Structure 1
């Protein structure tokens, strides 16, 4: 173990690895069907426990401490309990935020348990599990590609019906937003802020005509609001990630 690898660094890095596991398990590897079944059957749904198992397995794999198996089991229990509580509440922004905060607290508690007796030895591939750069970059891209899309959709849901946009390509807006955030975050990491300005200007020009003509002004404004939130989230994520790497 590198002597400069302090407890603080180890704690922060493991927290990021476990959060990466949570994002992957909860947002990437959880099919929409599982969420629907969970909402219908609540605690009786096998899909609820399958999702908790996926998160627990990913947490075990990404922890790097393969000899410590009881904490992933605890993660399974905490994740399942949190999701059970969520099934009995309406699908509102407040419930979504509360759910994710509880998962964040559970992840912090699990991270603390790993280091309750000091820094344990990484089981293998120390170069991988000790690299702050790999995990910060991985987590940053995952969070702006998947969870951020859901957050933006929830934040702009109040204007969705009012916008009354014509039907476009299936899921086109979703993938355009993901590509935008991917580019913005990459530009931040490369310190190419002028490229970000160019991208913002290009997107604004594309929608300026709709706003000026008023043919679908509400729809254009709705898209611009989502775009600005998307850009701001990607820029903020990139700045925080760079700050962590510079510590």
Structure 2
């Protein structure tokens, strides 16, 4: 499991933290061809991904050239999957794009699992790898790092891609203000930060077993947005965002701290 978590951390960092939202949007809008592919954001992103995966060689080293070739093919598959996603993204309507995002991430994870299994059975542990694997503390560190990376910016991206279509438009904001309603701030960075902090508090509550704290967090958030709830579209968006944060954090906690503890 140490290797799997290591690979997942690399994937999350490269896919969600090493590229900005603007760069990600530009990558999806690129018109790609054989002549322009090597200058594209997609190619640069794939190259960074492959370079970062070479960190695995600190823990496992290949035994033969075939191992390196398969390793590189697995890295290149990340770019191929993203290329297919970009092509399909540009040809589909907004309603189908969340499915593309979900399938894209699912395929990446499946490739990482297959790569991890291949490395375990065909690569050789380094002295550093032996050191890490003999001390469960390092696995615990990876668990916490992955958990908080997932509920951070990654959670915001998942919400935007899967449920962003429910966000009230600027016209809805203007209409609500005209009728005297106090709607939430238009500062998107503030909203994203609130979402991250909310999930962090939820995760800490789950880890320490303080389930009462979860209710207090939700109550405090509801009081802060009480006026917003009076407007249907904003109230619905608030509830969707809150439910997403709860379910996403619970799933992340279960996936990392419960499921993998029993494997």
TM interval, shorter chain, is 0.7 to 0.9
What RMSD over aligned residues (CA atoms) do the two structures have, in Å? 2.5
Aligned residues: 232
Match of 1:105 in 2: 110
Secondary structure at the aligned position of 2:126 is classed as coil
User: Please, what TM-score do these two structures have when normalized by structure 2?
Assistant: 0.77
Matching of residue 41 in structure 1 with residue 35 in structure 2: no
The counterpart of 2:141, out of the listed 134, 137, 140, is: 134
Distance 2:187 2:98 in 1: 27
Matching of residue 67 in structure 1 with residue 61 in structure 2: yes
The counterpart of 2:212, out of the listed 189, 194, 200, is: 194
Deviation of 1:38 (Å): 5.4
Match of 2:7 in 1: 18
Inter-CA distance 62–173: structure 2 relative to 1 (3 Å threshold): farther
2:46/2:78 contact within 8 Å kept: yes
Secondary structure at the aligned position of 2:121 is classed as coil
Inter-CA distance 237–29: structure 2 relative to 1 (3 Å threshold): same
Matching of residue 27 in structure 1 with residue 21 in structure 2: no
> What are the ranges of 5 or more consecutive residues in structure 2 without an aligned counterpart?
174-182
> What are the ranges of 5 or more consecutive residues in structure 1 without an aligned counterpart?
1-11
2:195/2:245 contact within 8 Å kept: yes
Deviation of 1:65 (Å): 2.9
Inter-CA distance 42–33: structure 2 relative to 1 (3 Å threshold): farther
Match of 2:221 in 1: 203
Inter-CA distance 245–94: structure 2 relative to 1 (3 Å threshold): closer
Secondary structure at the aligned position of 1:223 is classed as helix
Moved over 6 A (4+): none
Deviation of 1:179 (Å): 0.9
Distance 2:110 2:129 in 1: 28
Match of 1:236 in 2: 251
User: Please, what TM-score do these two structures have when normalized by structure 1?
Assistant: 0.82
Distance 1:222 1:51 in 2: 32
- What does the per-residue CA deviation read over 1:129-157, in whole Å, with 9 as the maximum and x for residues that have no partner? 66321111111111111222122123333
- What does the per-residue CA deviation read over 1:70-95, in whole Å, with 9 as the maximum and x for residues that have no partner? 25423321111111111101260111
Match of 1:9 in 2: none
Distance 1:162 1:21 in 2: 35
2:32/2:40 contact within 8 Å kept: no
The counterpart of 1:222, out of the listed 237, 242, 246, is: 237
